[in-house]
Amino acid sequence: MIATNWQDRGPLTPFAPPRRRFSFGAAARRSWTSGEEAVIFARDFAASHQRPQPMQRESALKNFLLQFFTWWSGQTLGTRFYTWRNGEFVGEDEFGNKYYRTRGGRKDPALGIERRWVIYNGEAEASMTPPGWNGWLHHTVDVPPTQEDYKPREWQKPHRPNYTGTPKAYRPAGSTLASGRRPQATGDYQAWSPGS
């Protein structure tokens, strides 16, 4: 998948579901608000992030069909061809996303600078790129994180994608979705106690 969004997104299918990775598949048919199933789905979700390389042999046909029909499974056939023709591999992040640039840093005629893009490992989800690579993708920096020896501070937390809409989403204290139980309402009346 090419990071700049005006680029070709591959063939559009009439059955394209809403663009959230958890809204299809067996897991999505279960309600994720109920406790036990939420755990099951959370496991499925975690597994989808550690999915084996899409090019593995036993699933080559499946990958081909996915890339042929969908735009959200790593890359489309068009992107794959474009990467094979023009791409130069730059590096890979901790999630397995692969980063490319135009071969030899050749200027893209449409941009005036070199083109940089990412091929996601698994679902195409823009928040999956960690901050270092995000900076490189957006031409904020020219040195990719793999060629830097940046040591994260101990207070820096590992990167997490956007969990909105998933079971891991943030729930404010008091939300029934956080615990499944509404906390005792207080403060709307003052109770009498015999001591006072």
Partner 1 sequence: MAKLIVDGNEIEVPAEFTILQACEEAGAEVPRFCFHERLSIAGNCRMCLVEVKGSPKPVASCAMSVRDLRPGPNGEPPVVNTRTPLVKKAREGVMEFLLINHPLDCPICDQGGECDLQDQAMAYGVDSSRFAENKRAVEDKYIGPLVRTSMNRCIHCTRCVRFTTEVAGVPDLGAIGRGEDMEITTYLEHAMRSELQGNVIDLCPVGALTSKPYSFKARPWELAKTESIDVMDALGSAIRVDSRGREVMRFLPRVNEFINEEWISDKTRFVWDGLRTQRLDRPYVRENGRLRPASWNEAFATIASKVGATKSERIGAIVGDLAAVEETFALKLLMESLGVASIDCRQDGTRLDPTLGRATYVFNSTIAGIEDADAVLLVGTNPRKEAPVLNARIRKGWRQMRTPIGVIGENVDLTYDYAYLGAGPQTLADLAAGKGAFFEVLSKAERPLIIVGQGALTREDGLAVLATAAKLAKAVGAVGEGWNGFSVLHTAAARVGALDLGFTPKADGLDVAGMLAPGALDVLFLLGADEIDVPEGVFVVYQGTHGDRGAHRADVILPGAAYTEKSGIYVNTEGRPQLANRAVFPPGEAREDWAILRALSDVLGKRLPFDSLAALREQLFAAYPHLAAIGEIAPADPAALEALAGKGGALSEAPFASPIVDFYLTNPVARASAVMAECSALASGALKQAAE
User: Would you tell me which residues interact with partner 1 (CB under 8 A)?
Assistant: 185, 188-194, 196
At its nearest, how many Å lie between partner 1 and the CB of residue 33? 23
Query: What does the alpha-carbon distance between residue 22 and residue 31 come to, in Å, rounded to a whole number?
Result: 11
Residues 6 or more apart in contact with residue 43 via CB below 8 angstroms: none
At its nearest, how many Å lie between partner 1 and the CB of residue 190? 5
35 phi, psi to nearest 5 deg: -55, -60
Q: Which is nearer to partner 1, 14 or 195 (CB)?
A: 195
Q: Which is nearer to partner 1, 15 or 189 (CB)?
A: 189
At its nearest, how many Å lie between partner 1 and the CB of residue 112? 48
Q: Which is nearer to partner 1, 26 or 185 (CB)?
A: 185
Asked whether 49 and 151 are in contact (CB, 8 A), the reply is: no
Q: Which is nearer to partner 1, 154 or 188 (CB)?
A: 188
At its nearest, how many Å lie between partner 1 and the CB of residue 44? 38
At its nearest, how many Å lie between partner 1 and the CB of residue 182? 13
Query: What does the alpha-carbon distance between residue 181 and residue 163 come to, in Å, rounded to a whole number?
Result: 22
41 phi, psi to nearest 5 deg: -70, -35
Sign of CA dihedral 22, 25, 29, 35: negative
Q: Which is nearer to partner 1, 6 or 189 (CB)?
A: 189
Query: What does the alpha-carbon distance between residue 131 and residue 180 come to, in Å, rounded to a whole number?
Result: 34
Query: What does the alpha-carbon distance between residue 43 and residue 49 come to, in Å, rounded to a whole number?
Result: 10
